[in-house]
Chain A
Protein backbone atom coordinates (compact mmCIF):
# COMPACT_ATOMS: atom_id res chain seq x y z
CA UNK A 1 0.00 0.00 0.00
CA UNK A 2 1.53 3.30 -1.14
CA UNK A 3 4.75 1.57 -2.21
CA UNK A 4 7.34 4.16 -3.09
CA UNK A 5 5.52 6.89 -1.19
CA UNK A 6 7.19 8.71 1.63
CA UNK A 7 5.27 9.55 4.82
CA UNK A 8 5.43 13.04 6.29
CA UNK A 9 4.09 15.09 9.16
CA UNK A 10 4.15 18.80 8.44
CA UNK A 11 3.33 21.42 11.04
CA UNK A 12 1.15 24.21 9.70
CA UNK A 13 0.02 27.38 11.43
CA UNK A 14 -3.04 25.55 12.72
CA UNK A 15 -2.29 21.85 12.95
CA UNK A 16 0.11 19.09 12.04
CA UNK A 17 -0.81 17.32 8.84
CA UNK A 18 0.03 13.70 8.22
CA UNK A 19 0.39 12.43 4.68
CA UNK A 20 2.41 10.71 2.03
CA UNK A 21 4.03 11.87 -1.18
CA UNK A 22 5.16 9.84 -4.17
CA UNK A 23 5.49 9.73 -7.94
CA UNK A 24 6.74 12.25 -10.43
CA UNK A 25 5.14 14.94 -12.52
CA UNK A 26 2.78 17.85 -11.97
CA UNK A 27 1.57 17.85 -8.37
CA UNK A 28 -1.90 16.71 -7.32
CA UNK A 29 -3.30 16.71 -3.79
CA UNK A 30 -5.87 14.02 -2.93
CA UNK A 31 -8.24 14.60 0.01
CA UNK A 32 -10.39 11.97 1.73
CA UNK A 33 -13.87 12.10 3.24
CA UNK A 34 -15.76 10.62 6.18
CA UNK A 35 -15.32 8.11 7.81
CA UNK A 36 -11.93 7.65 6.19
CA UNK A 37 -8.32 8.78 6.02
CA UNK A 38 -5.79 9.21 3.21
CA UNK A 39 -5.81 5.40 2.95
CA UNK A 40 -8.91 5.63 0.78
CA UNK A 41 -6.64 6.58 -2.11
CA UNK A 42 -4.58 3.39 -1.81
CA UNK A 43 -5.80 2.05 -5.14
CA UNK A 44 -5.73 5.31 -7.07
CA UNK A 45 -2.62 7.06 -5.77
CA UNK A 46 -0.03 4.50 -6.95
CA UNK A 47 -1.52 4.46 -10.46
CA UNK A 48 -1.72 8.24 -10.60
CA UNK A 49 1.90 8.42 -9.43
CA UNK A 50 2.99 7.19 -12.86
CA UNK A 51 1.96 10.60 -14.19
CA UNK A 52 2.00 12.95 -11.22
CA UNK A 53 3.58 13.84 -7.96
CA UNK A 54 0.80 12.62 -5.71
CA UNK A 55 0.24 14.01 -2.22
CA UNK A 56 -2.32 12.30 0.04
CA UNK A 57 -3.08 13.74 3.46
CA UNK A 58 -5.36 13.36 6.44
CA UNK A 59 -7.58 16.40 6.89
CA UNK A 60 -7.18 18.33 10.12
CA UNK A 61 -9.06 16.41 12.80
CA UNK A 62 -9.02 13.12 10.89
CA UNK A 63 -6.61 10.17 10.95
CA UNK A 64 -3.13 11.06 12.12
CA UNK A 65 -3.39 14.79 11.50
CA UNK A 66 -3.63 17.21 14.41
CA UNK A 67 -6.83 17.92 16.29
CA UNK A 68 -6.48 21.46 17.61
CA UNK A 69 -9.02 22.65 20.18
CA UNK A 70 -12.18 24.07 18.67
CA UNK A 71 -13.93 27.31 19.50
CA UNK A 72 -17.55 28.24 20.11
CA UNK A 73 -18.00 29.24 16.47
CA UNK A 74 -16.26 26.03 15.24
CA UNK A 75 -13.87 28.15 13.14
CA UNK A 76 -10.84 25.83 13.53
CA UNK A 77 -12.88 23.16 11.73
CA UNK A 78 -14.28 25.32 8.97
CA UNK A 79 -13.24 24.21 5.50
CA UNK A 80 -11.47 27.54 5.12
CA UNK A 81 -9.18 26.65 8.03
CA UNK A 82 -8.84 23.02 7.00
CA UNK A 83 -8.00 24.12 3.46
CA UNK A 84 -5.38 26.58 4.70
CA UNK A 85 -3.49 23.63 6.26
CA UNK A 86 -3.42 21.87 2.95
CA UNK A 87 -2.20 24.92 1.06
CA UNK A 88 0.62 25.28 3.56
CA UNK A 89 1.56 21.62 3.23
CA UNK A 90 1.79 21.90 -0.55
CA UNK A 91 3.94 25.02 -0.28
CA UNK A 92 6.21 23.32 2.21
CA UNK A 93 6.59 20.43 -0.21
CA UNK A 94 7.59 22.99 -2.83
CA UNK A 95 4.36 23.34 -4.82
CA UNK A 96 2.90 26.80 -5.08
CA UNK A 97 0.43 25.65 -7.69
CA UNK A 98 -1.23 22.25 -7.80
CA UNK A 99 -4.34 20.31 -8.68
CA UNK A 100 -6.61 19.12 -5.90
CA UNK A 101 -9.09 16.25 -5.95
CA UNK A 102 -11.38 15.55 -3.03
CA UNK A 103 -13.92 12.92 -2.12
CA UNK A 104 -16.84 13.73 0.19
CA UNK A 105 -15.58 16.06 2.99
CA UNK A 106 -12.28 16.27 1.12
CA UNK A 107 -14.16 17.63 -1.89
CA UNK A 108 -15.63 20.34 0.32
CA UNK A 109 -12.14 21.25 1.44
CA UNK A 110 -10.94 21.16 -2.19
CA UNK A 111 -13.56 23.53 -3.59
CA UNK A 112 -13.18 25.93 -0.66
CA UNK A 113 -9.43 25.94 -1.40
CA UNK A 114 -10.15 26.70 -5.07
CA UNK A 115 -12.46 29.58 -4.11
CA UNK A 116 -10.13 31.02 -1.47
CA UNK A 117 -6.86 30.48 -3.35
CA UNK A 118 -7.45 30.62 -7.11
CA UNK A 119 -3.78 31.48 -7.60
CA UNK A 120 -2.76 28.08 -6.20
CA UNK A 121 -5.34 25.62 -7.49
CA UNK A 122 -4.92 24.77 -11.16
CA UNK A 123 -7.51 22.01 -11.45
CA UNK A 124 -10.27 20.84 -9.13
CA UNK A 125 -11.81 17.39 -8.86
CA UNK A 126 -14.91 16.93 -6.69
CA UNK A 127 -16.34 13.49 -6.03
CA UNK A 128 -19.95 12.90 -5.01
CA UNK A 129 -20.80 16.22 -3.36
CA UNK A 130 -22.44 19.50 -4.32
CA UNK A 131 -21.45 22.73 -2.56
CA UNK A 132 -22.66 22.90 1.02
CA UNK A 133 -24.48 26.19 0.34
CA UNK A 134 -26.54 24.62 -2.42
CA UNK A 135 -27.08 21.44 -0.45
CA UNK A 136 -28.54 23.34 2.48
CA UNK A 137 -30.46 25.83 0.33
CA UNK A 138 -32.26 23.00 -1.39
CA UNK A 139 -32.52 20.79 1.66
CA UNK A 140 -35.91 19.30 2.37
CA UNK A 141 -37.04 16.31 4.36
CA UNK A 142 -35.73 13.86 1.78
CA UNK A 143 -32.34 15.54 1.78
CA UNK A 144 -32.12 15.57 5.55
CA UNK A 145 -33.17 11.94 5.76
CA UNK A 146 -30.59 10.92 3.15
CA UNK A 147 -27.92 13.06 4.83
CA UNK A 148 -29.01 12.21 8.38
CA UNK A 149 -25.36 12.27 9.49
CA UNK A 150 -25.30 16.01 8.83
CA UNK A 151 -27.83 16.64 11.58
CA UNK A 152 -26.47 13.89 13.82
CA UNK A 153 -22.83 14.95 13.71
CA UNK A 154 -23.75 18.64 13.97
CA UNK A 155 -25.97 18.03 17.00
CA UNK A 156 -24.88 19.80 20.18
CA UNK A 157 -21.83 18.55 22.03
CA UNK A 158 -21.54 16.02 23.61
CA UNK A 159 -24.36 13.98 22.10
CA UNK A 160 -22.79 12.65 18.91
CA UNK A 161 -19.38 12.44 20.58
CA UNK A 162 -20.86 10.23 23.29
CA UNK A 163 -22.75 8.07 20.83
CA UNK A 164 -19.84 7.43 18.53
CA UNK A 165 -17.51 6.92 21.45
CA UNK A 166 -19.76 4.10 22.66
CA UNK A 167 -19.92 2.39 19.28
CA UNK A 168 -17.35 3.69 16.77
CA UNK A 169 -17.34 0.56 14.60
CA UNK A 170 -21.13 0.66 14.33
CA UNK A 171 -21.05 4.04 12.65
CA UNK A 172 -18.03 3.37 10.44
CA UNK A 173 -19.42 0.03 9.27
CA UNK A 174 -22.82 1.58 8.62
CA UNK A 175 -21.38 4.32 6.46
CA UNK A 176 -19.08 2.00 4.53
CA UNK A 177 -21.65 -0.74 4.05
CA UNK A 178 -24.68 1.44 3.35
CA UNK A 179 -23.08 3.98 1.05
CA UNK A 180 -20.93 1.55 -0.96
CA UNK A 181 -22.24 -0.75 -3.67
CA UNK A 182 -19.10 -2.73 -4.42
CA UNK A 183 -18.79 -5.37 -1.75
CA UNK A 184 -15.03 -5.79 -1.63
CA UNK A 185 -14.26 -2.07 -1.76
CA UNK A 186 -12.68 -2.06 1.70
CA UNK A 187 -9.91 -4.58 2.48
CA UNK A 188 -10.03 -5.71 6.11
CA UNK A 189 -6.84 -3.85 6.86
CA UNK A 190 -8.23 -0.57 5.50
CA UNK A 191 -11.55 -0.95 7.29
CA UNK A 192 -9.73 -1.69 10.54
CA UNK A 193 -7.69 1.47 10.06
CA UNK A 194 -10.84 3.57 9.58
CA UNK A 195 -12.41 2.10 12.72
CA UNK A 196 -9.20 2.56 14.71
CA UNK A 197 -8.99 6.24 13.79
CA UNK A 198 -12.67 6.73 14.57
CA UNK A 199 -12.09 5.19 18.00
CA UNK A 200 -10.08 8.22 19.13
CA UNK A 201 -12.38 10.59 21.07
CA UNK A 202 -10.38 13.61 19.91
CA UNK A 203 -10.86 12.62 16.29
CA UNK A 204 -14.58 12.12 16.82
CA UNK A 205 -14.95 15.51 18.49
CA UNK A 206 -12.99 17.15 15.69
CA UNK A 207 -15.19 15.52 13.05
CA UNK A 208 -18.34 16.64 14.88
CA UNK A 209 -16.92 20.16 15.00
CA UNK A 210 -16.25 19.95 11.27
CA UNK A 211 -19.93 19.12 10.67
CA UNK A 212 -21.02 21.91 13.03
CA UNK A 213 -18.86 24.31 11.07
CA UNK A 214 -20.40 23.00 7.83
CA UNK A 215 -23.89 23.93 8.99
CA UNK A 216 -22.78 27.42 10.01
CA UNK A 217 -19.50 28.92 8.77
CA UNK A 218 -19.05 26.82 5.62
CA UNK A 219 -22.64 27.48 4.66
CA UNK A 220 -22.29 31.23 5.29
CA UNK A 221 -19.04 31.39 3.33
CA UNK A 222 -20.65 29.71 0.34
CA UNK A 223 -23.57 32.10 0.53
CA UNK A 224 -21.19 35.07 0.78
CA UNK A 225 -19.28 33.87 -2.28
CA UNK A 226 -22.34 33.10 -4.37
CA UNK A 227 -22.45 35.51 -7.30
CA UNK A 228 -19.15 37.11 -6.25
CA UNK A 229 -16.42 34.53 -6.33
CA UNK A 230 -16.13 31.77 -8.86
CA UNK A 231 -14.03 28.67 -9.26
CA UNK A 232 -11.65 29.79 -11.96
CA UNK A 233 -9.96 26.51 -12.83
CA UNK A 234 -11.38 23.53 -14.75
CA UNK A 235 -13.57 21.25 -12.65
CA UNK A 236 -14.13 17.49 -12.89
CA UNK A 237 -17.25 16.24 -11.09
CA UNK A 238 -17.86 12.54 -10.58
CA UNK A 239 -20.84 11.23 -8.70
CA UNK A 240 -22.41 7.90 -7.82
CA UNK A 241 -24.98 6.94 -10.42
CA UNK A 242 -27.36 5.57 -7.78
CA UNK A 243 -26.43 7.70 -4.79
CA UNK A 244 -27.94 10.68 -3.03
CA UNK A 245 -26.55 13.28 -5.46
CA UNK A 246 -28.16 11.51 -8.42
CA UNK A 247 -31.44 11.13 -6.53
CA UNK A 248 -31.65 14.66 -5.15
CA UNK A 249 -30.51 16.74 -8.13
CA UNK A 250 -31.99 16.52 -11.61
CA UNK A 251 -28.86 17.89 -13.28
CA UNK A 252 -25.83 17.36 -11.01
CA UNK A 253 -23.38 19.03 -13.41
CA UNK A 254 -25.48 22.20 -13.34
CA UNK A 255 -24.89 22.44 -9.58
CA UNK A 256 -21.18 23.02 -10.21
CA UNK A 257 -21.68 24.96 -13.45
CA UNK A 258 -23.29 27.64 -11.29
CA UNK A 259 -19.88 28.05 -9.69
CA UNK A 260 -17.42 27.41 -12.51
CA UNK A 261 -17.19 27.98 -16.24
CA UNK A 262 -15.42 24.75 -17.17
CA UNK A 263 -17.14 21.75 -15.61
CA UNK A 264 -17.01 18.22 -16.96
CA UNK A 265 -17.72 14.79 -15.55
CA UNK A 266 -20.52 12.34 -15.08
CA UNK A 267 -21.98 9.54 -13.02
CA UNK A 268 -19.99 6.42 -12.15
CA UNK A 269 -22.00 3.19 -11.75
CA UNK A 270 -20.86 2.43 -8.20
CA UNK A 271 -21.71 3.70 -4.71
CA UNK A 272 -20.45 6.74 -2.82
CA UNK A 273 -16.86 5.56 -2.36
CA UNK A 274 -15.94 5.95 -6.02
CA UNK A 275 -12.12 5.92 -5.66
CA UNK A 276 -12.28 2.65 -3.70
CA UNK A 277 -15.17 1.07 -5.59
CA UNK A 278 -14.03 1.99 -9.10
CA UNK A 279 -10.30 2.75 -8.79
CA UNK A 280 -9.51 2.10 -12.45
CA UNK A 281 -12.29 4.31 -13.73
CA UNK A 282 -11.38 7.00 -11.19
CA UNK A 283 -7.71 6.86 -12.19
CA UNK A 284 -8.57 6.98 -15.89
CA UNK A 285 -10.79 10.03 -15.39
CA UNK A 286 -8.22 11.79 -13.25
CA UNK A 287 -5.34 11.11 -15.63
CA UNK A 288 -7.41 12.48 -18.53
CA UNK A 289 -8.53 15.51 -16.56
CA UNK A 290 -5.17 16.38 -15.04
CA UNK A 291 -3.25 15.89 -18.29
Chain B
Protein backbone atom coordinates (compact mmCIF):
# COMPACT_ATOMS: atom_id res chain seq x y z
CA UNK B 1 0.00 0.00 0.00
CA UNK B 2 1.61 3.19 -1.16
CA UNK B 3 -0.89 5.61 0.27
CA UNK B 4 -2.12 5.54 3.83
CA UNK B 5 -3.84 8.08 6.00
CA UNK B 6 -1.01 9.43 8.18
CA UNK B 7 -1.30 8.53 11.85
CA UNK B 8 -4.09 5.99 11.27
CA UNK B 9 -3.78 2.33 12.22
CA UNK B 10 -4.54 -0.26 9.58
CA UNK B 11 -6.36 -3.48 10.39
CA UNK B 12 -8.12 -6.25 8.60
CA UNK B 13 -11.55 -7.05 10.07
CA UNK B 14 -13.66 -10.06 9.10
CA UNK B 15 -17.25 -8.95 8.46
CA UNK B 16 -18.61 -12.05 6.77
CA UNK B 17 -17.60 -15.71 6.35
CA UNK B 18 -15.42 -14.95 3.38
CA UNK B 19 -15.00 -11.19 3.54
CA UNK B 20 -12.33 -9.23 5.37
CA UNK B 21 -12.22 -5.46 5.06
CA UNK B 22 -9.14 -3.28 5.04
CA UNK B 23 -9.77 -0.42 7.44
CA UNK B 24 -7.91 2.64 8.66
CA UNK B 25 -8.76 3.83 12.18
CA UNK B 26 -7.56 7.00 13.85
CA UNK B 27 -8.37 9.51 16.58
CA UNK B 28 -10.54 9.19 19.65
CA UNK B 29 -14.02 10.35 20.47
CA UNK B 30 -17.46 9.79 18.99
CA UNK B 31 -17.19 7.37 16.08
CA UNK B 32 -17.74 8.30 12.44
CA UNK B 33 -17.35 5.93 9.50
CA UNK B 34 -16.38 7.36 6.10
CA UNK B 35 -17.17 5.36 2.94
CA UNK B 36 -15.40 6.02 -0.35
CA UNK B 37 -16.80 5.89 -3.88
CA UNK B 38 -15.87 4.95 -7.46
CA UNK B 39 -13.19 4.59 -8.74
CA UNK B 40 -11.36 5.11 -5.48
CA UNK B 41 -10.40 3.73 -2.08
CA UNK B 42 -10.60 4.94 1.52
CA UNK B 43 -7.60 7.19 0.78
CA UNK B 44 -9.96 9.77 -0.74
CA UNK B 45 -10.91 10.69 2.86
CA UNK B 46 -7.31 11.53 3.90
CA UNK B 47 -7.89 15.28 4.42
CA UNK B 48 -11.26 14.97 6.08
CA UNK B 49 -10.22 12.01 8.25
CA UNK B 50 -7.11 13.77 9.53
CA UNK B 51 -9.17 16.74 10.68
CA UNK B 52 -12.05 14.80 12.25
CA UNK B 53 -9.61 12.53 14.11
CA UNK B 54 -8.72 15.46 16.38
CA UNK B 55 -11.91 14.78 18.33
CA UNK B 56 -13.53 11.69 16.80
CA UNK B 57 -12.77 8.07 16.22
CA UNK B 58 -12.59 7.98 12.45
CA UNK B 59 -13.04 4.69 10.61
CA UNK B 60 -12.24 4.53 6.89
CA UNK B 61 -12.73 1.11 5.32
CA UNK B 62 -12.33 0.01 1.76
CA UNK B 63 -15.76 -1.23 0.73
CA UNK B 64 -16.22 -4.89 -0.08
CA UNK B 65 -14.96 -5.34 -3.63
CA UNK B 66 -12.72 -2.28 -3.58
CA UNK B 67 -9.17 -1.35 -2.64
CA UNK B 68 -7.44 -3.79 -0.30
CA UNK B 69 -10.67 -5.32 1.00
CA UNK B 70 -11.74 -8.79 -0.11
CA UNK B 71 -13.55 -9.11 -3.42
CA UNK B 72 -15.69 -12.22 -3.25
CA UNK B 73 -17.01 -13.53 -6.56
CA UNK B 74 -20.64 -12.48 -6.97
CA UNK B 75 -22.85 -15.49 -6.28
CA UNK B 76 -25.98 -13.48 -7.01
CA UNK B 77 -27.19 -9.89 -6.70
CA UNK B 78 -26.96 -10.13 -2.93
CA UNK B 79 -23.18 -10.42 -2.84
CA UNK B 80 -22.81 -6.76 -3.76
CA UNK B 81 -26.23 -5.43 -2.83
CA UNK B 82 -26.06 -2.20 -0.89
CA UNK B 83 -27.88 -4.09 1.86
CA UNK B 84 -25.00 -6.55 2.15
CA UNK B 85 -22.36 -3.82 1.85
CA UNK B 86 -24.15 -1.78 4.53
CA UNK B 87 -24.31 -4.82 6.82
CA UNK B 88 -20.52 -5.13 6.38
CA UNK B 89 -20.11 -1.63 7.76
CA UNK B 90 -22.39 -2.18 10.75
CA UNK B 91 -20.52 -5.41 11.54
CA UNK B 92 -17.18 -3.69 11.11
CA UNK B 93 -18.06 -0.86 13.49
CA UNK B 94 -19.47 -3.36 15.98
CA UNK B 95 -16.25 -5.37 15.93
CA UNK B 96 -14.35 -2.14 16.56
CA UNK B 97 -16.59 -1.56 19.60
CA UNK B 98 -19.10 0.93 18.22
CA UNK B 99 -22.77 -0.02 18.42
CA UNK B 100 -23.85 3.42 17.18
CA UNK B 101 -21.95 5.69 14.84
CA UNK B 102 -22.22 8.55 12.37
CA UNK B 103 -21.83 7.62 8.71
CA UNK B 104 -20.75 9.63 5.70
CA UNK B 105 -20.43 8.28 2.18
CA UNK B 106 -19.29 9.57 -1.17
CA UNK B 107 -20.64 8.23 -4.48
CA UNK B 108 -20.99 4.41 -4.17
CA UNK B 109 -20.19 4.78 -0.48
CA UNK B 110 -23.13 7.16 -0.17
CA UNK B 111 -25.45 4.54 -1.63
CA UNK B 112 -24.16 2.11 0.99
CA UNK B 113 -24.65 4.78 3.65
CA UNK B 114 -28.26 5.46 2.61
CA UNK B 115 -29.02 1.76 2.73
CA UNK B 116 -27.37 1.50 6.17
CA UNK B 117 -29.51 4.40 7.39
CA UNK B 118 -32.69 2.72 6.14
CA UNK B 119 -31.80 -0.77 7.34
CA UNK B 120 -30.16 0.17 10.66
CA UNK B 121 -31.91 3.31 11.94
CA UNK B 122 -30.97 2.61 15.56
CA UNK B 123 -27.30 2.27 14.67
CA UNK B 124 -26.67 5.24 12.41
CA UNK B 125 -26.79 8.45 14.44
CA UNK B 126 -26.05 10.91 11.63
CA UNK B 127 -25.88 10.47 7.88
CA UNK B 128 -24.09 12.45 5.18
CA UNK B 129 -24.12 11.71 1.46
CA UNK B 130 -21.78 13.31 -1.05
CA UNK B 131 -22.75 13.71 -4.69
CA UNK B 132 -25.15 10.87 -5.23
CA UNK B 133 -28.86 10.31 -5.76
CA UNK B 134 -30.79 7.50 -4.13
CA UNK B 135 -30.70 4.55 -6.52
CA UNK B 136 -34.38 4.71 -7.38
CA UNK B 137 -34.23 8.41 -8.23
CA UNK B 138 -31.02 8.09 -10.15
CA UNK B 139 -32.66 5.66 -12.58
CA UNK B 140 -35.72 7.88 -12.78
CA UNK B 141 -33.63 10.85 -13.87
CA UNK B 142 -30.76 9.46 -15.90
CA UNK B 143 -32.25 7.92 -18.99
CA UNK B 144 -32.99 8.69 -22.59
CA UNK B 145 -30.93 11.52 -24.04
CA UNK B 146 -29.49 12.10 -20.57
CA UNK B 147 -28.20 8.56 -20.28
CA UNK B 148 -24.97 9.27 -22.15
CA UNK B 149 -23.59 11.16 -19.13
CA UNK B 150 -24.16 8.00 -17.14
CA UNK B 151 -23.22 5.46 -19.79
CA UNK B 152 -21.14 3.53 -17.28
CA UNK B 153 -24.29 2.70 -15.30
CA UNK B 154 -25.87 1.12 -18.34
CA UNK B 155 -22.74 -0.63 -19.50
CA UNK B 156 -22.04 -2.18 -16.10
CA UNK B 157 -25.68 -3.20 -15.69
CA UNK B 158 -25.40 -5.57 -18.63
CA UNK B 159 -25.25 -9.32 -17.96
CA UNK B 160 -21.87 -10.82 -16.99
CA UNK B 161 -19.49 -10.99 -19.91
CA UNK B 162 -19.50 -7.85 -22.00
CA UNK B 163 -18.79 -5.21 -19.34
CA UNK B 164 -16.08 -7.34 -17.74
CA UNK B 165 -14.37 -7.93 -21.07
CA UNK B 166 -14.62 -4.36 -22.30
CA UNK B 167 -13.58 -2.69 -19.07
CA UNK B 168 -10.72 -5.12 -18.46
CA UNK B 169 -9.44 -4.38 -21.96
CA UNK B 170 -9.34 -0.62 -21.27
CA UNK B 171 -9.25 -0.45 -17.49
CA UNK B 172 -6.97 2.55 -17.06
CA UNK B 173 -8.70 4.52 -19.81
CA UNK B 174 -12.09 3.75 -18.30
CA UNK B 175 -11.38 4.54 -14.67
CA UNK B 176 -9.03 7.37 -15.54
CA UNK B 177 -11.73 9.03 -17.61
CA UNK B 178 -13.95 9.48 -14.56
CA UNK B 179 -11.12 10.67 -12.35
CA UNK B 180 -10.27 13.29 -14.96
CA UNK B 181 -13.71 14.38 -16.15
CA UNK B 182 -15.59 14.49 -12.88
CA UNK B 183 -13.18 16.81 -11.13
CA UNK B 184 -13.09 20.60 -11.11
CA UNK B 185 -9.64 20.63 -9.49
CA UNK B 186 -7.31 18.12 -11.12
CA UNK B 187 -4.53 18.93 -8.67
CA UNK B 188 -6.72 17.50 -5.90
CA UNK B 189 -5.73 14.03 -7.06
CA UNK B 190 -1.96 14.07 -7.65
CA UNK B 191 -0.49 11.80 -10.33
CA UNK B 192 0.85 9.19 -7.93
CA UNK B 193 -2.48 8.92 -6.14
CA UNK B 194 -4.32 8.80 -9.46
CA UNK B 195 -2.05 5.88 -10.38
CA UNK B 196 -2.93 4.18 -7.11
CA UNK B 197 -6.67 4.59 -7.72
CA UNK B 198 -6.23 3.19 -11.21
CA UNK B 199 -4.28 0.19 -9.93
CA UNK B 200 -6.85 -0.50 -7.22
CA UNK B 201 -9.68 -0.27 -9.75
CA UNK B 202 -7.90 -2.34 -12.38
CA UNK B 203 -7.55 -5.11 -9.80
CA UNK B 204 -11.23 -4.90 -8.88
CA UNK B 205 -13.04 -4.92 -12.24
CA UNK B 206 -15.41 -7.84 -11.59
CA UNK B 207 -16.41 -6.66 -8.12
CA UNK B 208 -16.87 -3.03 -9.14
CA UNK B 209 -19.15 -4.17 -11.96
CA UNK B 210 -21.01 -6.44 -9.54
CA UNK B 211 -21.59 -3.45 -7.25
CA UNK B 212 -23.03 -1.42 -10.14
CA UNK B 213 -24.99 -4.35 -11.52
CA UNK B 214 -26.70 -4.76 -8.15
CA UNK B 215 -27.84 -1.14 -8.42
CA UNK B 216 -29.74 -1.97 -11.60
CA UNK B 217 -31.49 -4.89 -9.90
CA UNK B 218 -31.70 -5.87 -6.27
CA UNK B 219 -30.88 -2.39 -4.89
CA UNK B 220 -33.88 -0.96 -6.77
CA UNK B 221 -36.11 -3.65 -5.27
CA UNK B 222 -34.93 -2.72 -1.79
CA UNK B 223 -35.52 0.99 -2.44
CA UNK B 224 -38.96 0.30 -3.86
CA UNK B 225 -39.90 -1.79 -0.84
CA UNK B 226 -38.88 1.05 1.47
CA UNK B 227 -40.76 3.59 -0.58
CA UNK B 228 -43.89 1.41 -0.59
CA UNK B 229 -43.61 0.95 3.18
CA UNK B 230 -43.06 4.67 3.71
CA UNK B 231 -39.66 4.04 5.30
CA UNK B 232 -37.50 7.12 5.55
CA UNK B 233 -34.20 8.12 7.06
CA UNK B 234 -34.93 9.14 10.63
CA UNK B 235 -31.54 10.48 11.74
CA UNK B 236 -30.22 13.95 10.87
CA UNK B 237 -29.14 13.88 7.23
CA UNK B 238 -26.90 16.23 5.27
CA UNK B 239 -26.77 15.95 1.50
CA UNK B 240 -24.09 17.80 -0.41
CA UNK B 241 -23.81 17.54 -4.15
CA UNK B 242 -23.04 19.34 -7.34
CA UNK B 243 -26.00 21.22 -8.72
CA UNK B 244 -27.40 18.23 -10.59
CA UNK B 245 -30.92 19.55 -10.21
CA UNK B 246 -30.09 22.60 -12.31
CA UNK B 247 -28.03 20.55 -14.77
CA UNK B 248 -30.62 17.85 -15.34
CA UNK B 249 -33.82 19.71 -14.55
CA UNK B 250 -35.20 18.42 -11.29
CA UNK B 251 -35.68 19.67 -7.74
CA UNK B 252 -32.90 17.91 -5.89
CA UNK B 253 -33.86 19.13 -2.41
CA UNK B 254 -37.48 18.05 -2.86
CA UNK B 255 -36.34 14.68 -4.08
CA UNK B 256 -34.18 14.13 -1.02
CA UNK B 257 -36.88 15.39 1.31
CA UNK B 258 -39.02 12.40 0.34
CA UNK B 259 -36.32 10.20 1.85
CA UNK B 260 -35.19 12.25 4.84
CA UNK B 261 -37.30 14.20 7.33
CA UNK B 262 -34.45 16.03 9.06
CA UNK B 263 -32.59 17.17 5.96
CA UNK B 264 -29.97 19.75 5.22
CA UNK B 265 -29.45 19.96 1.47
CA UNK B 266 -26.44 21.78 0.05
CA UNK B 267 -24.94 22.26 -3.35
CA UNK B 268 -21.26 22.84 -3.90
CA UNK B 269 -19.26 24.40 -6.70
CA UNK B 270 -16.57 21.76 -6.17
CA UNK B 271 -16.39 18.83 -8.56
CA UNK B 272 -17.43 15.26 -7.87
CA UNK B 273 -14.36 14.45 -5.79
CA UNK B 274 -15.35 17.12 -3.27
CA UNK B 275 -13.74 15.52 -0.22
CA UNK B 276 -10.41 15.94 -2.00
CA UNK B 277 -11.20 19.09 -3.98
CA UNK B 278 -12.80 21.09 -1.16
CA UNK B 279 -11.94 19.27 2.07
CA UNK B 280 -12.49 22.32 4.28
CA UNK B 281 -16.05 22.70 2.99
CA UNK B 282 -16.76 19.01 3.57
CA UNK B 283 -15.18 19.06 7.05
CA UNK B 284 -17.31 22.05 8.02
CA UNK B 285 -20.42 20.35 6.68
CA UNK B 286 -19.67 17.13 8.59
CA UNK B 287 -18.91 18.94 11.84
CA UNK B 288 -22.14 20.86 11.49
CA UNK B 289 -24.02 17.59 10.95
CA UNK B 290 -22.39 15.96 13.96
CA UNK B 291 -23.53 18.90 16.13
CA UNK B 292 -27.20 18.35 15.21
Contact = CB atoms under 8 A, between A and B. Distances in A.
Interface of A: 136-137, 139-141, 143-145, 148, 150-152, 154-156, 159-160, 162-163, 166-167, 170-171, 174, 178, 212, 215-216, 219
Interface string B134-146: 0000011011110
Contacts of B216: 141, 145
Contacts of A174: 161-162
12 contacts: A150-B147, A152-B155, A154-B151, A155-B148, A155-B151, A156-B148, A156-B181, A160-B151, A163-B166, A171-B166, A212-B148, A219-B145
A167 B170 contact: yes
B173 A159 contact: yes
Contacts of A139: 143-145, 147
A117 B149 CA distance: 34
B151 A152 contact: yes
B162 A151 contact: no
B150 A151 contact: yes
Interface in B149-183: 149-151, 154-155, 157-158, 161-162, 165-167, 169-170, 173-174, 177, 181
B155 A154 contact: no
Contacts of A140: 140, 143-144
Contacts of A212: 148
A141 B166 contact: no
B143 A163 contact: no
Given A162-B173, A163-B170, A151 B161 contact: no
B162 to A, nearest CB: 5
A210 to B, nearest CB: 13
Contacts of A137: 144
Given A136-B144, A159-B177, A174-B161, A141 B151 contact: no
Contacts of B170: 162-163, 166-167
Contact of B143 (A143, A154, A171): A143
A141 B140 contact: yes
A140 B216 CA distance: 13
B143 A141 contact: yes
A278 B275 CA distance: 56
A137 B145 CA distance: 9
A159 B157 CA distance: 17
A180 to B, nearest CB: 15
Given A139-B143, A141-B143, A144-B143, A151 B148 contact: yes
A216 B151 contact: no
Contacts of B169: 163, 166-167, 170
Contacts of A216: 145
Given A148-B155, A152-B155, A178-B162, 16 more contacts: A139-B143, A140-B143, A141-B143, A144-B142, A148-B151, A148-B157, A150-B148, A151-B151, A152-B151, A156-B181, A159-B177, A163-B166, A167-B165, A167-B170, A215-B145, A219-B145
A174 B158 CA distance: 11
Contact of B151 (A143, A159, A166, A167): A159
Contacts of A159: 151, 173-174, 177
Given A154-B148, A159-B151, A159-B174, A167 B166 contact: yes
Contacts of A162: 170, 173
Nearest to B165: A170
Given A139-B147, A155-B148, A171-B166, A163 B154 contact: no
A148 B154 contact: yes
A95 B25 CA distance: 76
Nearest to B141: A141
B167 to A, nearest CB: 8
Nearest to A160: B151
A80 B282 CA distance: 48
A167 B142 CA distance: 27
B166 A144 contact: no
Interface string B99-136: 00000000000000000000000000000000000000
